Amino acid sequence: MKRLSKTALVFLATGVSAFSSVKNVIYFIGDGLGPSQRQITEYYKTEVLGQDGKLAMNSMPALGITTTHAADTLITDSAAAGTALATGFKTNNGMISMLPSGEKLKSLTDIAKNKDMKTGIITSTRLTHATPAVFVTTNSSRANEAEMAEDFVKANIDFYAGGGYRFFVPKTGEFKSSRKDEKNVVKDLENNGYKTFIGEGSSKNLLSYTPKSNEKVFAALTNSHLPYEIDRVKDNSTPSLAELTRKGIEVLSKENNKGFFLMVEGGRIDHASHAQDAVGTIMDTIAFDDAINVALEFYKNDPENTLIVVAADHETGGMGLGYGNNYSLNLEALKNIKLSVEDKLQKAYKGNKEEYFSYLDKELGLNNLTVVEKESIEKAIKAEDNKDTTAINNSYGGYAPTAISVAHIISQRAGLQWTSFAHTATQVPLSATGKTSENFVGFKDNTDVAKEIANSMGGKL
C-alpha cells in the first residue's frame, strides 16, 4: 500500500482540506520584462541614481523562470502570452483568452469572482490592450478593441485603471474617440454602478477618491496608453503605476472579508524595448517595481493571507548587456537621457539637419559625436527625408530613422545592444512572496503560473 503523507492523513481524518486558500492575490505582469531589463535597472539605480539598486521583484524569496512560447510560434505576442498567464492555456498569437479552435477560456478573474473575491485590473497601456483584455474578456483578435470595450461592462470587475478611453466614448462628443459608432460605454458603466474617471483631468479626482461600499471604479485617464514614465515624471499629468496600485488596493480591500484578485501590468516596458529605448525601458521598470513595493506594504500588514506574484509575458528587443568585445558597461552614458524614443525623440527631427544636431546637443548632451556616429545619423536623416520605406522598415523597425539611430548611439555608448524590434523567445524571470509562494519556484511553463495562482485561490482553470 502506498504510504500517505501526514497532510493527506490529516485531510482524511478531518474531512477538510489542510490547505486554505489565499485571500488576496496581487499579480504583476511586466510586459517585455526579460532578465536583461530586470538586471540593467538594478545597475542603473545603483550606478546612475546612486540608490540601493536592489529591486523588490529581485528580492522575493521564491524565484523561478518561465517559458514564453505560444501555441503557433516560439516567439509569442502579448495576447497569446497573456492568455497563458491568465487562463493556463496556450493559444495562437493575437487571440484573447480563446483556444485556437475558438473555444472561450476562463481566466483568473472568473475564479476570483466565483469565490466572491473582488477583482481589479490596472495597466499603463490602454485597458483594451492585450494583457489587461485577457483578464476581462475573450476574443478571436486583440485588434477588436472597440468590441472588447463593451465587454468591460458585463465583466463586472470592481476596479479598472489605465489608459485608452478612446474605445469607451462615443464617436462624437467631448472626448476623442476611436469608435465607429455612437455607443457610450462609459455611460453603460455608470448605469451599472461604476464611478468613472475619464481623461487626464480626472487624475487628481481619482487619487483623492474615497471608495464607497459597493461602488465600482472605472478610470481611463488618457486617449491611448498612459505616458512613458520617463516623460510622465516631468508634469505628473497622470498618476504613477504605484499610485494606481495604492488606489486599487484601497478600493478592493475596503470592507471586504472575501479578499481580492488584482492584476497590475507594467505595459510600457515592452513599448520602450520595441523602440530600443534603453532609459525608457529602465524608467518603466523602476515604475513597475515601485508599484510592487506598494503591494509589499499591503502584504506586510497581512502576510498570512496575501500572495504576490511577479511574472513577465516575454522579453522584448533582445536587449543585450554587452556589445562588441568589451568587458564593461558604461551606464554614465545614459545619465543625460530624459525623454522617450517613441513619444519624444521620434518627433524631434523636423527636416533641418543643423537644428537636429543642436537639439541632440541640448536635450541629450550628444555634443561629442564621433565620425561614425555622425555618419549613422546622417544616413538616417537621408532615409527619413527620402521616405525610404524599405530602409525604414528593415533597418529602423518602422520607427523614425533619426530616433532609432540616436537610440542606437546611446545604447552602444552604454555597452548595450539590441537584436530585434519585436519580442524574443528567451525565458523570463518569475518571483513570488507570501502564502503559497513556494509553488512558484523552478523552471515552469508560462501556463503553470496561472494554474498555480488558481490553485492558491482554491479554484481550477
63 SS3 class: strand
User: In this complex, which beta carbon is closest to Zn ion, that of residue 169 or of residue 269?
Assistant: 269
Q: What track of x and - describes contact with Zn ion for positions 216 through 255 (by CB under 5 A)?
A: ----------------------------------------
**H-state helical runs in 306-352:** none
- The region of 158-166, 168-176, 266-274, 298-306 touching Zn ion under the rule CB under 5 A is 266-274
Cα–Cα distance measured from residue 165 to residue 168, given in angstroms and rounded to the nearest whole number:
5
- The region of 40-48, 123-131, 196-204, 269-277 touching Zn ion under the rule CB under 5 A is 269-277
Total residues binding Zn ion (CB under 5 A): 1
Site for Zn ion in 369-428 (CB under 5 A): none
User: In this complex, which beta carbon is closest to Zn ion, that of residue 32 or of residue 239?
Assistant: 32
Whether 258 and 119 have beta carbons less than 8 Å apart is answered as: no
Amino acid letter at 244? L
User: In this complex, which beta carbon is closest to Zn ion, that of residue 270 or of residue 373?
Assistant: 270
Cα torsion 234, 236, 241, 242 to 10°: value is: 100
| Residue 405: how many other CB atoms lie within 10 Å | 23
- The region of 120-128, 265-273, 398-406, 411-419 touching Zn ion under the rule CB under 5 A is 265-273
User: In this complex, which beta carbon is closest to Zn ion, that of residue 270 or of residue 284?
Assistant: 270
Phi, psi of 219 (to 5 degrees): -125, 115
β-bridge mates for residue 104, sequence order: 98
- The region of 11-19, 253-261, 264-272, 292-300 touching Zn ion under the rule CB under 5 A is 264-272
We find the least distance from the C-beta atom of residue 80 to Zn ion, in angstroms, to be 12
We find the least distance from the C-beta atom of residue 277 to Zn ion, in angstroms, to be 13
* 103 alpha-carbon distance from chain centroid: 26
DSSP string of 99-138, one letter each residue: -TTS-B---HHHHHHHTT-EEEEEEEEETTSHHHHTTT--
Structure-block grid coordinates of residue 162:
489605465
We find the least distance from the C-beta atom of residue 428 to Zn ion, in angstroms, to be 13
We find the least distance from the C-beta atom of residue 423 to Zn ion, in angstroms, to be 6
User: In this complex, which beta carbon is closest to Zn ion, that of residue 90 or of residue 271?
Assistant: 271
- The region of 137-145, 270-278, 319-327, 429-437 touching Zn ion under the rule CB under 5 A is 270-278
User: In this complex, which beta carbon is closest to Zn ion, that of residue 128 or of residue 437?
Assistant: 128
We find the least distance from the C-beta atom of residue 32 to Zn ion, in angstroms, to be 6
We find the least distance from the C-beta atom of residue 235 to Zn ion, in angstroms, to be 26
Instruction: Verify binding: residue 270, Zn ion, rule CB under 5 A.
Output: yes
The candidate with the shortest Cα–Cα distance to 91, out of 426, 450, 421, is: 450
Exposure of 250 by Cβ count < 10 A (0-12 exposed, 13-18 middle, 19+ buried)? middle
We find the least distance from the C-beta atom of residue 280 to Zn ion, in angstroms, to be 13
User: In this complex, which beta carbon is closest to Zn ion, that of residue 386 or of residue 393?
Assistant: 393
User: In this complex, which beta carbon is closest to Zn ion, that of residue 178 or of residue 281?
Assistant: 281
Cell 496581487 belongs to which residue?
26
Cα–Cα distance measured from residue 104 to residue 272, given in angstroms and rounded to the nearest whole number:
31
User: In this complex, which beta carbon is closest to Zn ion, that of residue 270 or of residue 290?
Assistant: 270
Q: Which residue is nearest to Zn ion (CB)?
A: 270
We find the least distance from the C-beta atom of residue 131 to Zn ion, in angstroms, to be 10
User: In this complex, which beta carbon is closest to Zn ion, that of residue 127 or of residue 153?
Assistant: 127
Whether 186 and 168 have beta carbons less than 8 Å apart is answered as: yes
Distances (CA, A) of 275 to 92, 140, 365, 401, 420: 24, 27, 20, 11, 9
Cα–Cα distance measured from residue 160 to residue 169, given in angstroms and rounded to the nearest whole number:
16
We find the least distance from the C-beta atom of residue 307 to Zn ion, in angstroms, to be 27
Instruction: Verify binding: residue 313, Zn ion, rule CB under 5 A.
Output: no
Amino acid letter at 39? Q
Instruction: Verify binding: residue 448, Zn ion, rule CB under 5 A.
Output: no
Cα–Cα distance measured from residue 305 to residue 98, given in angstroms and rounded to the nearest whole number:
31
We find the least distance from the C-beta atom of residue 316 to Zn ion, in angstroms, to be 5
The contact set with Zn ion (CB under 5 A) reads 270
